Amino acid sequence: MRLQWASATDTGRVRRVNQDAIFADGTLFAVADGMGGHAGGEVASKLAVETISELPLTNGLAEAFKDSFSEANRRIMSKASRSENLRGMGTTLTAALVTVESHRELFLVQNVGDSRAYLLHRGELQQITKDHTYVGELLRSGSITEEQAAHHSQRHVLTKALGVESVVDSDIFKVVPVNGDILLLCSDGLINHVTDGEIEKILSANVPLQQKADQLVESANLSGGTDNISVILVEVVELDSVEQEVDAVSLVVPPQDDQVRPIVRGGPELLSIPRPIDKQSIVRGGRIFTTRVAVFVLLLLLLIGGVLYSVQLYENHSYYVGDSGGVVVIFHGHPGGLLWYSPSVVRVSSLHMNSLNSVEAEAIKSKVPEPSLAAAESYVRNLQARVKQQSFIAKHPLGLSTTSTTSTTSTTSTTSTTSTTGPGAG
């Protein structure tokens, strides 16, 4: 089989890095679309295409081809487990291997993920691979239409990728081309923006193959270029074998057994749709609002709410006696304030600081905390009573003070007690 091929890969208009990787050497062609945070995606896709390109893929050895995907998967998982930065990385991989089977030249096309393979066969575009996506499964089960699938919010959610699970469950297709057929391998950056009809038109144009590859990338970029775009075109120039009237894309071959799996899945398989791999959340560094994030945010809000409530409660029950402008006042709040709560004056007494003795004045200046407004008021009343009594004694050094005994409180100083009991006893 004589082939010519062309390729193009582009970062697109939105992404900062190109996490796609491509490989083409005339026998093997591959497109990988990496995912996984910062460097992970690039590493995974590059490792995938490098791995399969290194392995000896002898013609006709479908099993070796299948195993190469398993080896790529193993290497990605191993590398990810050894580096914190690469943890969770993965990649799609779609590859075509030129081979001969029963004297018939063909391509073996293998894929995991949503990078696609198409064949422009006798001028008509047909999709070879089936997307391993959640939406792809829904589409194949008949739950949604093509139109709904194209705009589905979860169309980026993969059900299979390399680097995610220890067992790789890839699909393999046999593609029997005729002269002039073009095989297209591409990442979803193309498909997201360019319709099958547009792809068919570009591939059918009478221009050099490289120009077609470039036009595909350009079309995706003109329509938004929201993702990395990679394409490989392989044109069958001349077949050595005789063209045969068979279906170009014939069947899926699991090499381990001889059972032929239908291309279109149905029945019991749909009951076990594989665990979805959220490609977007990985690609964009986990910005998607997952259930785990929601629970975390809720717990955090509850915690913050609890703290605020406690502060509020503590603040509501905080009073202190202090001075303001030389007058004894009662403040609501915590001396010096607490968070955004500033203390506020709730009672201004008639008691001047200069009427207090030095011990009392010092205590007030240092602020006297009280657990309630009543306690603070009681404290001030006691002070007032003490000052009043002091001033009465000063004015009437020998006066009877039995009437003031009733107002004497526990805070009355020893001196005043002596002076009140003294005359009464005498």
Q: Which residues bind Mg ion (CB under 5 A)?
A: 33, 187-189, 227
Which one, 221 or 420, has the nearer CB to Mg ion?
221
Count other C-beta atoms under 10 Å from residue 11's C-beta: 17
Concatenate the DSSP letters of all residues of 7-74 into one string. EEEE--SS-SS--EEEEE-SSEEEEEEEESHHHHHHHHHHHHHHHHHHS---TT-HHHHHHHHHHHHH
In terms of CB distance, is 108 or 191 closer to Mg ion?
191
Backbone φ and ψ of 349, nearest 5°: -85, 170
Does residue 355 come out as left (phi exceeding 0), alpha (psi in the -120 to 50 range) or beta? alpha
In the complex, minimum distance from the CB of residue 187 to Mg ion, in angstroms, rounded to a whole number = 5
Which residue, 115 or 170, has its beta carbon nearer to Mg ion? 115
CB 213, min distance to Mg ion, A: 17
Taking CA atoms, 146 is separated from 135, 139, 195, in Å, by 10, 7, 12
Minimal distance, residue 229 CB to Mg ion, in Å: 8
Q: Enumerate residues 6+ apart whose C-beta is below 8 A from 200.
A: 120, 124, 125
Residue 262 CA to residue 82 CA, distance in Å, equals 39
User: What is the smallest separation between the CB atom of 33 and Mg ion, expressed in angstroms?
Assistant: 4
> What is the phi/psi pair of residue 184, to 5°?
-120, 125
CB atoms within 10 A of CB 323: 17
The span from the first CA to the last CA of the chain, in angstroms, equals 135
Choice between 151 and 395, CB closer to Mg ion: 151
User: Token pair 């076990």 is at which residue?
Assistant: 272
- Chain position carrying tokens 């030249």: 105
**Looking at beta carbons only, is 115 or 420 nearer to Mg ion?**
115
What CA–CA distance (Å, rounded) separates 412 from 317?
Answer: 27
Token pair 């107002």 is found at 407
**Which C-beta is closer to Mg ion: that of 162 or that of 321?**
162
Longest dimension (CA), the chain: 141
Per the document, the length of the chain is: 426
CB of 188 to Mg ion, least distance (A): 4
CB 390 within 8 A of CB 401: no
Which one, 21 or 236, has the nearer CB to Mg ion?
Answer: 21
Rounded least distance, CB 11 to Mg ion, Å: 11
Residue among 18 and 412 whose Cβ is closer to Mg ion: 18
Q: How far is the CB of 15 from Mg ion (least distance, A)?
A: 9
Q: Which is nearer to Mg ion, 171 or 188 (CB)?
A: 188
Min dist CB 261 to Mg ion, Å, is 26
Q: How far apart are CA 80 and CA 75, in angstroms?
A: 8
As separate numbers, helices (DSSP H) first and strands (DSSP E) second, the chain gives 13, 18
Of 3 and 48, CB closest to Mg ion: 48
Q: Which is nearer to Mg ion, 34 or 322 (CB)?
A: 34
What is the three-state SS of 227-253?
Answer: CCEEEEEEEEEECCCCCCCCCCEEEEC
